[in-house]
Amino acid sequence: MSIRIIQIDAFTDRPFAGNPAAVCLLEQPREVDWMQAVAAEMNLSETAFVRPIDVGYELRWFTPQVEVDLCGHATLAAAHALWTEAGISPNETLRFQTRSGQLTAKRRGALIQLDFPATPAKPCDPPAGLIEALPVDPIFVGETKFDTLVVIESEAQLRSLQPDFARLAKIPTRGVIVTCGSESPEFDFLSRFFGPAAGIDEDPVTGSAHCCLAPYWGQQLGKTEMTGYQASSRGGIVKTQIAGDRILLSGAAVTVLRGELV
């Protein structure tokens, strides 16, 4: 039996921007090795596997190399796929059972709103090799349960970063988030995300990184609602809202490809 797979650009309202994710719509469980092979074949930063269960949907995420514990853009893409490709009413709140607990998705006008756990960064010394790999002179370095956060001075510095990915891959963390304040009133902060240890040199738009970015910038700016821009070559916009120990992430999504695994 063929299995539907859809490619969706997340955190953007136009094709070929934001972060592309593949969404595989399953009816039955599949082996981990098979899912990892599909993700390697798709060769996108994430491939999501969704199947209905008694309490909503099981959702798992794979890079081309590993399964991950939390992914924002592929969750956004999975919600978009269920509403637009699987006949689920857009008025229905989707409940995903994941390795990071239950996550929900709701329609909010033209945007999709995700309810994710906050992952604030605790101050730490820079991991060995980090400064040389970027290289930067950080204002702040912190660590979350997933990533290392690096705060730098300027937008120009952020946009011009050319990391040494071979060095960066040796740092024992899922990824490195580099961020700065925004010089444009349109955004509150900017970021880039590097994850060579997980098989992704630079991720175009990283929703889960904003579970760390929102608490940091919320404290710096005295805000609970902010808009982040991920300054990759594709670019993407993530709206954030701090809700206690949860972060509400909102963004748009657009389908760019429909296919079948045979």
Catalytic center residues: 46
Vertex 13 angle, CA 239 and 179, to 5°: 40
* Beta carbons of 94 and 105 less than 8 angstroms apart: yes
Residue 72: strand, helix, or coil: helix
CA pair distance 175, 231, nearest whole angstrom = 16
CA pair distance 244, 62, nearest whole angstrom = 28
The number of angstroms, rounded, from the C-alpha of 75 to the middle of its chain's C-alpha atoms is: 8
- Cα torsion angle, 94, 84, 61, 25, sign: positive
